[in-house]
Amino acid sequence: MADTRTVTVTIRRRPSISDPQGATVARALRDLGHEVTDVRIDKTIELQVPDGDVETIRARVAEMCDRLLANPVMEDYEILVSS
């Protein structure tokens, strides 16, 4: 659709925050014989937003992340605005 744009937000736990789910999956992969040193499980959120200036969209989505989507105590985020 021409009048909307897809924005993908990836939310990751900060490196200093433990990820027990990732650690469990890493153990399971090793049990299956795979060589894995670390696993981190992230969250991906895909948004459809009204199309417009890319920098404006990026700033709006950053505000969404700061207010609701991510918790700065434990998470970092990355915003990808589709071209």
Partner 1 sequence: MNTAVVVFPGSNCEHDVVYALETLGGSADLVWHRDTDLSGYDSVVLPGGFAHGDYLRTGAIARFSPVMGEVNRLAAAGAPVLGICNGFQVLCEAGLLPGVLLQNRDLKFICRPIHLRVESTDSILTRAARVGDVLEIPLNSYEGNYTASADEIASIETGGYVPLRYSSSTGTVDTDSNPNGSTNNIAAVSKSNVAGIMPHPERAIEEILGSADGRVLLESFLQSRVAVNV
Binding site for partner 1 (CB under 8 A): 16-18, 20-21, 24, 68-69, 71, 73-74
Closest CB to partner 1 among residues 20, 50: 20
Question: At its nearest, how many Å lie between partner 1 and the CB of residue 17?
Answer: 7
CA distance linking residue 41 with residue 3, whole number of Å: 32
CA distance linking residue 23 with residue 8, whole number of Å: 25
Neighbours of 32 (CB within 10 A): 8
Closest CB to partner 1 among residues 41, 81: 41
- How do strand 4-13 and strand 43-50 relate by DSSP bridges? antiparallel
Question: At its nearest, how many Å lie between partner 1 and the CB of residue 21?
Answer: 7
